[in-house]
Structure 1
Amino acid sequence: MILSKWFQFIKPNFNFYRDGFFEFPFLANTPEAFIESTINTPGSKHNIEEQTVYRNNPFIKGEMRYRKIDDGLWLTITNIEFKHDTVIKSVYAKDIPSEHYSITYTVFESEVKLQNMFIDKVPFQNKFWGFKKPGVDVGACFYKGSKCQFYIYYVSPSWIEKHIPLDQLDSKIPFKKFLDSDKGFVSYQDIVPNAEELSHEILNTFKIFNKDVFNKTILKAQTLNLLSTFFKNVFRDNRKDYYQEKGSVDYKKIAKCELMISTKLSKPFMGIDRLSEKLNISSSKLKMDFKSVYGKSILQYNIDKKMQLALQLVQNTQMQIKHISQEVGYENPSKFSAVFKKKHGKLPSELRPE
């Protein structure tokens, strides 16, 4: 389908080009509405038996698999490659009720440019979880060439009430306070150990679902295991910062801020004032909103991501430790090693493959 004709089809729900990114909305009222809107997107081919939607249009290429796992629980798994810089954000139709919570596990791979003359760029994986209340607008930004996986669990209040013992939990627990408040969204980094491995097992069951009558039971068990671990660990999370009211956070700007940090890890941190200037938001609000969403300050988030890149360079390249130190902005290798050990529990040399 040519680009102009594709625009004609998508225009009612497409905000075109803003601030260097094409904006794509997705209908988020219910899992069924999201799936139906994906099926009807131009360039999509729907395989009903596989419960898979294959997509190839001028902006994205990939597929989305979907299944109802249990009463009140749906899961969609999307593999996608972006052909342009893109913002994906939720939208809500006024005439469709919205009551599902969504739990999203995202894994996306992009490239980080290095200063090294022999290795000029490396793939960098970013992983995070997001928990969103019904009716809350969120957004995420992705650069051209990014390859992403989205695991979106749609859970109804009745499913949570049946499977998660909220009534037995202390009301002073931060996440319990969040659930009981008029707050909208929160994200986490490494909240589920082995999340990628567990998610790939679920994806494999999706792919072979029709080949074994026991796969329905297996899929339900796999999903319940992962979600139980998620909830168990978020209730242990001790972030004490106040969450923001629904609608008070510009999630698209916060997503862009995160992207500006995670794709420039080999360069000196540009500073909060420069970030706020680029995003057209006050530095105080940027700091408050970022911490309310990601659970840590911008500075700490930047350090954590640099140490994540450093770990990849330690484990996947032959680059000398002192050069890795320089790549992530530390001229002093000893200081770098101390920060690295604080993050990963061991010195860089101890985590280098033999």
Structure 2
Amino acid sequence: MDFTLLTRENTAVTYSPVIPPSFARYSVPVARELYATGDFGSLLFHEQAGPDFGLWHKSYFIKQSTSLTAVADGPLFQLCFSVNRTLRFQQNGMGKIRLPEGQFNIWYAPAVHSQTWFEKGKKYLVYEIHFSRNYLEKLAPYFPLVAEFLMKAELGFSSQLSPVHAHITPEMMMILQNMYNCYYKGDVKAAYLQALLSRLLLQALTRLTLVKVPVNEIKLQPYELSKLREAWEYLLHHIEHPGTVIDLSHAIGLNDFKLKKGFKQLYGVTIFEFLLEARMEKARRLLQETAMTVHAVAISVGYKNISSFTVAFKKKFGILPSEVTGNNAARLEG
């Protein structure tokens, strides 16, 4: 869906399809690219369009505290992931919403009029998927929450699928990145993106249905949030040898209590659970996309004991790593 973006002064933001050299490293040639600049800073949006849906990768480079208002005619179903920084926005008919970093939810609006606030000197990264009602209708029989959500939409009410946001998993981030970096064209691109969206929606709805109200949260300062983001990146880049929690604590400069408690609070999983999920997702990808042996894959994701890797893989995906061939490979996509 195309939309108009208004500044705090109610002036329409003018987009250009030309990306300046300073932003060239962010370019994705196969995607639709939109760049804009102003007193607020710079914006860089990418859209990967699929059948009846679009994936938006939105980067906001904010120079001064401001707000931007998105306006569009027609209804919108939107799955929104706040990857970097907490989003604060207000949609007509819903009031103010806070979407913490690392979390997501699904919203519906009969017409878009959404104001988002941004802080000076911050970079925001957001993934949005705009899709048709049909995608949710197919899954409604399996998720009562979705049926209720669609009923509100039918009555013309702005609504949020789950009262509590859910946490983005490493596997969900991998799906989003694969959609964003899709270099296929034509029918192959449409089929590829549609398959990934179905998988992502199923995981998102499952997590939103099971999510519980958080209790006993600790207050995290901005520098502590930055350190926790470092921990996330460190673990992804040191899957083979992540070290102990104390090692990680020393590596990022955050005490182990804040590290363990804050990581679980921010990302919804413990450090161990995150590492296991990331290892299994990397192993799945290597087994599907490369000719590496099971032994080599196990070593590359940090397992010295092959039997331990096999047990963990089967528990996660329901099949042995040696069975990831032919038709069995498709089972990992569910």
TM-score by length of 1: 0.49
Corresponding position of 2:243 = none
Aligned residues of 2:60 and 2:125 also touching (Cα < 8 A): yes
Q: Per-residue CA shift, 1:281-329, capped at 9, x if unaligned? A: xxxxxxxxxxxxxxx57x73746999866645667597659x734xxxx
Letter in 1 for 2:136: I
Determine what percentage of the aligned residue pairs are the same residue: 12
What is the deviation of 1:83?
Answer: 2.2
| Cα distance change, pair 219–310 in 1 and its aligned pair in 2 (3 A) | same
1:15 is the counterpart of 2:8:
yes
Corresponding position of 2:207 = 233
What is the deviation of 1:69?
Answer: 0.9
The structure 2 residue matched to 1:131, chosen from 106, 113, 124, is 106
Provide the C-alpha distance between the structure 1 equivalents of 2:18 and 2:264, rounded to a whole number of angstroms: 48
Provide the C-alpha distance between the structure 2 equivalents of 1:15 and 1:158, rounded to a whole number of angstroms: 35
Aligned residues of 2:43 and 2:61 also touching (Cα < 8 A): yes
Aligned residues of 2:81 and 2:168 also touching (Cα < 8 A): no
Provide the C-alpha distance between the structure 1 equivalents of 2:259 and 2:125, rounded to a whole number of angstroms: 32
Provide the C-alpha distance between the structure 1 equivalents of 2:59 and 2:30, rounded to a whole number of angstroms: 19
SS in 1 for 2:101: strand
What is the deviation of 1:66?
Answer: 2.1
- Could you list the runs of 5+ residues in structure 2 that have no partner in the other structure? 20-28, 87-99, 235-246, 277-301, 303-334
The structure 2 residue matched to 1:223, chosen from 197, 207, 214, is 197
Corresponding position of 1:292 = none
The structure 2 residue matched to 1:300, chosen from 213, 217, 222, is 217
Residues 143-158 of structure 1 mapped to structure 2, 5 A cutoff = 143-158=119-134
- Could you list the runs of 5+ residues in structure 1 that have no partner in the other structure? 1-9, 17-22, 26-40, 111-124, 240-295, 326-332
1:45 is the counterpart of 2:17:
yes
Provide the C-alpha distance between the structure 1 equivalents of 2:120 and 2:250, rounded to a whole number of angstroms: 30
| Cα distance change, pair 24–108 in 1 and its aligned pair in 2 (3 A) | farther
Letter in 1 for 2:14: P
Corresponding position of 1:324 = 254
Aligned residues of 1:314 and 1:324 also touching (Cα < 8 A): no
Provide the C-alpha distance between the structure 2 equivalents of 1:231 and 1:301, rounded to a whole number of angstroms: 27
Corresponding position of 1:99 = 75
What is the deviation of 1:193?
Answer: 4.3
Q: Per-residue CA shift, 1:59-78, capped at 9, x if unaligned? A: 332432224311x3222222
Letter in 2 for 1:86: T
| Cα distance change, pair 300–219 in 1 and its aligned pair in 2 (3 A) | same
Provide the C-alpha distance between the structure 2 equivalents of 1:197 and 1:307, rounded to a whole number of angstroms: 25
Corresponding position of 1:69 = 50
SS in 1 for 2:35: strand
| Cα distance change, pair 79–55 in 1 and its aligned pair in 2 (3 A) | same
What is the deviation of 1:204?
Answer: 0.9
SS in 1 for 2:254: helix
SS in 2 for 1:44: coil
Provide the C-alpha distance between the structure 2 equivalents of 1:107 and 1:24, rounded to a whole number of angstroms: 27
1:203 is the counterpart of 2:180:
yes
SS in 2 for 1:76: strand
What is the deviation of 1:342?
Answer: 7.0
Moved more, 98-107 or 83-92: 83-92
SS in 1 for 2:176: helix
Aligned residues of 1:176 and 1:235 also touching (Cα < 8 A): no
Corresponding position of 2:313 = none
Aligned residues of 2:107 and 2:158 also touching (Cα < 8 A): no
Provide the C-alpha distance between the structure 2 equivalents of 1:304 and 1:180, rounded to a whole number of angstroms: 40
Q: Per-residue CA shift, 1:14-64, capped at 9, x if unaligned? A: 432xxxxxx888xxxxxxxxxxxxxxx425236998522232333332432
Aligned residues of 1:52 and 1:66 also touching (Cα < 8 A): yes
Q: How big is the alpha-carbon RMSD for the aligned residues of Structure 1 and Structure 2?
A: 4.5
TM-score by length of 2: 0.52
